[in-house]
Amino acid sequence: MEKESVWLGRFRGPVRLAMLVFTALTFLIFAWLVLNRFLSADAIGMHEMIRPAGRPIVTAMLCSIGGAILFASLYLSDFHGVIEREPHGIFDFLSLITSRMAMIMVALIVIVMFYEVVSRYVFSRPTLWANELSLWIAAFVFLFAGQYAMQQRSHIRIYVIYDLMPRWMQKTADVVSLLLLLAFTLALVWGGYSDAETRLLRMETFGTAWDPPIPGIVKPAILIIIVLVALQAVSNLIADWNKLPEHHGLEEVDEAEIENIRRTLGD
């Protein structure tokens, strides 16, 4: 029996179809590119894959990969994990989508590194691009995972004192934490926007043999994601404002230590 839709509703079917179409198109173009390496002297390799200008087949390949990842992420975000928090609002759904992108990207990293290991140690033909492509993808995995962790309230927090507070004081602590996060976000965007814009406009490259534009893409992405993380934090505060006090595993904490803290606060 198919699981209940989280947010796509009747659009789940069309999204699934689009995912399958783009995935099939990606494999077809990939097969053609592989075959073309044996039939043509003007074969397209990984060096050309990040330089699509004047190469329609490369543009089509990149668009099909992007479409496959996008629609797969949309489709997978419509399923709710057992341990996941219920999504509420647009930023929660956006975080779910990017989390599924991160899942897919982890699989892509494994595929890339597997290819590199086989190429290097079986055929003695190491690549120039596998390590950098893995770093490139991993950067977005890290960023998307941070956004998802914020939506799931999974960032490291110390609850020993927080759990002892009355609800109004917990709300105050949450507001202070949010203000600090917003201040950090503002400082990061204020200080990094000019540099990120410069790198993006000139599409700064990595300075290696393959020379991918990692700095030109990742630096602006950092600012965009940190803004989304901050907006997610605001959404979390609004969603949690009227919730009852939560306690986070006090049974795992030394009861004597808790009693000492209570006594200290009471004094």
pLDDT digits (tens), the chain, 267 positions: 467 889 999 999 999 999 999 999 999 999 999 888 887 777 888 989 999 988 899 999 999 999 999 999 999 999 988 888 889 889 999 999 999 999 999 999 999 999 999 999 999 999 999 999 999 999 999 999 999 999 999 888 888 888 888 889 999 999 999 999 999 999 999 999 999 999 999 999 999 999 999 999 999 999 999 999 999 999 999 999 988 777 666 455 556 667 767 776 665
Give the Cα separation of 192 and 195 in Å (integer).
5
Residue with tokens 């540099």: 195
Closest CA to 236 of 87, 51, 19, 69: 87
User: Which conformational region is residue 188 in: left (phi greater than 0), alpha (psi within -120 to 50 degrees), or beta?
Assistant: alpha
User: What pLDDT score was predicted for residue 7?
Assistant: 92
User: What pLDDT score was predicted for residue 1?
Assistant: 40
* DSSP one-letter string for 159-181: -TTGGGS-HHHHHHHHHHHHHHH
